[in-house]
Structure 1
Amino acid sequence: MLRFFRTLRQRLLTENKFSKYLLYAVGEILLVVIGILIALQINNWNENRNNRFAEKRYVNDLIEDLKNDSIMLNDIYGFLESKSRSKEKIAPILRGELAAVDSMAYHFNMQWAVQDRFTPTTTTIEELKNDGKLNIIRDIGLRRKIVSLYNLYSKEEFAEDMFNQQNFKLMGLASQHFGNLLEPKPGELSEALQNKPFVNGIIANFTFARKDAIDQLQKQCALLIRELEVYKARING
């Protein structure tokens, strides 16, 4: 094909048919431009197709990551709920009231018990951020919700550190009175309750606030999973 055009061009120049040569040159340029446009279109089509495949994969991976987070948040919430119930059980005693409480040693022990840290699964979101691919998820509103939830996760880590510090401090106060922190004896408890910092440490150990915070985080995680599931069905349809 190229040989044919080269031969034609040389013949037109030899025969001094300048107007026909000019028309031929314009046509050749147009053919080149059309070829470039077609190549660009094919390249864009391939890139869009690859992006759609990648979007489906990332959305699916995000759903799996968040499901893991949801399980962990559910476990933490269950722990904090038990801790809160125990705190309510011993609340009258902390106020200096005489009250008979079953399993009192257990309920006091729960006040300085510490749950494993919340460690969200961030593999997919880190890959999206590090590779600059967040925009591959076309729904802007959904993209913002994803970023917002992971920002809340970061704040949660700070709040968790504060909560655990308070519990470790309370554990230190308890260790001054109890031979075995896991099984405080009635006599040891009576002595410890005379210690104001110990009592105040239990009252101000952020248990209720932490439970509410985890509850809200759990709900937002579940909501985002549902929205991602809906979006997944839409882009797979």
Structure 2
Amino acid sequence: MGFLTKKTLKKNLLYYIGEIIVIVLGIFIAIQLNNWNDNRKIKAEEKKVIKQLLTDLDKEKFVLNSSINGLNKSQEFLKKIIYKSNHKNLDSIYFHIASSFTHFPINAVYVNLKSSGKLDIISNDKIRHDIVNYYEVNYKIYQKLENSHEKFINEKISSYFNSELPIDTALFVNPDLVKIKLKDEKFRKLIIEQISTCRLIKSYLNINSIDQLITVIKNNQTE
């Protein structure tokens, strides 16, 4: 009887141990599957974020190129007047000499990631570092350029036109009066300063930095 009892206990013990192993394995597999599913979701979210960032950067590039084109037109118009004595369309001089640089931020995706503390969703350290560097550094530069240029336009250009060259409701100026004022050294200096300012602003609007960032993202996002 004792022998049977020991045999039965041993059999039951092995059974319970087997049950425990099965349960532990089941829990382990469930955890692994859950982790795999979570990682899959995180990767999917990362790919979505990367795609949105690339879209924002493409839009940023387009907008900055538009700004550069606008600055080029104003700069060339004023250079023809001051350096080549080209007096065509003088009535529209205010459009060019008072044209200021305005930066339109296209960083909604980055701002959302930063404010929500989800920048780490970008797993690649280089991509994350370069994205943060672009928005944090360049946007501060763009803001300073915008503020400085606006101040120059308001305090010098607009002030001069208000007192010396009346503008009509359509922002046009009497071309004959402009010809006379072109002999004014102060007016000529303002034109030259606007030309130089346009050139300076363009030098900071480095489209290559966006192209480089886009290349870095595309080359490293699958790593």
Distance in 2 between residues matched to 1:224 and 1:209, nearest whole Å: 23
**Cα pair 1:112 1:171 within 8 Å, conserved:** yes
Residue in structure 2 matching 1:111, options 73, 97, 109:
97
- Alignment match, 1:163: 149
In structure 2, give the amino acid aligned to 1:186. Answer: D
The offset of 1:229, in angstroms, is 3.4
**Cα pair 1:51 1:136 within 8 Å, conserved:** yes
Which deviations, in whole Å up to 9, do the C-alpha atoms of 1:92-120 show, x marking residues without a partner? 4xxxxxx63232626742111235x3212
**Cα pair 2:100 2:146 within 8 Å, conserved:** no
Matched, 1:59 2:50: yes
Greater CA deviation, 123-132 or 143-152?
123-132
Distance in 1 between residues matched to 2:201 and 2:12, nearest whole Å: 82
In structure 2, give the amino acid aligned to 1:185. Answer: P
**Cα pair 1:112 1:167 within 8 Å, conserved:** yes
- Alignment match, 1:175: 162
Which deviations, in whole Å up to 9, do the C-alpha atoms of 1:162-206 show, x marking residues without a partner? 11221122122112111225224333452475363x444433342
In structure 1, give the amino acid aligned to 2:208. Answer: K
In structure 2, give the amino acid aligned to 1:160. Answer: E
Secondary structure in 2 aligned to 1:204?
helix
- What stretches of structure 1 of length at least 5 have no aligned partner? 1-14, 93-98
In structure 2, give the amino acid aligned to 1:133. Answer: K
Matched, 1:228 2:217: yes
Secondary structure in 1 aligned to 2:71?
helix
In structure 1, give the amino acid aligned to 2:154. Answer: F
Distance in 2 between residues matched to 1:126 and 1:187, nearest whole Å: 49
Matched, 1:89 2:56: no
1:87/1:48 CA distance change after superposition, 3 Å: same
1:189/1:167 CA distance change after superposition, 3 Å: farther
- Alignment match, 2:37: 46
**Cα pair 1:89 1:107 within 8 Å, conserved:** no
Residue in structure 2 matching 1:121, options 84, 102, 106:
106
Distance in 2 between residues matched to 1:106 and 1:188, nearest whole Å: 8
Distance in 2 between residues matched to 1:27 and 1:193, nearest whole Å: 102
1:175/1:189 CA distance change after superposition, 3 Å: farther
Distance in 2 between residues matched to 1:41 and 1:178, nearest whole Å: 76
TM-score by length of 2: 0.77
Q: Please show how residues 73-84 of structure 1 align to structure 2 within 5 Å.
A: 73-84=64-75
Matched, 1:207 2:198: yes
The offset of 1:231, in angstroms, is 4.2
**Cα pair 1:177 1:192 within 8 Å, conserved:** no
Distance in 2 between residues matched to 1:76 and 1:162, nearest whole Å: 16
**Cα pair 2:49 2:109 within 8 Å, conserved:** yes
The offset of 1:230, in angstroms, is 3.7
- Alignment match, 2:120: 135
The offset of 1:47, in angstroms, is 0.9
- Alignment size in residue pairs: 210
* RMSD over equivalenced CA pairs, Å: 3.0
Matched, 1:37 2:24: no
TM-score by length of 1: 0.73
Secondary structure in 2 aligned to 1:40?
helix
- What stretches of structure 2 of length at least 5 have no aligned partner? none
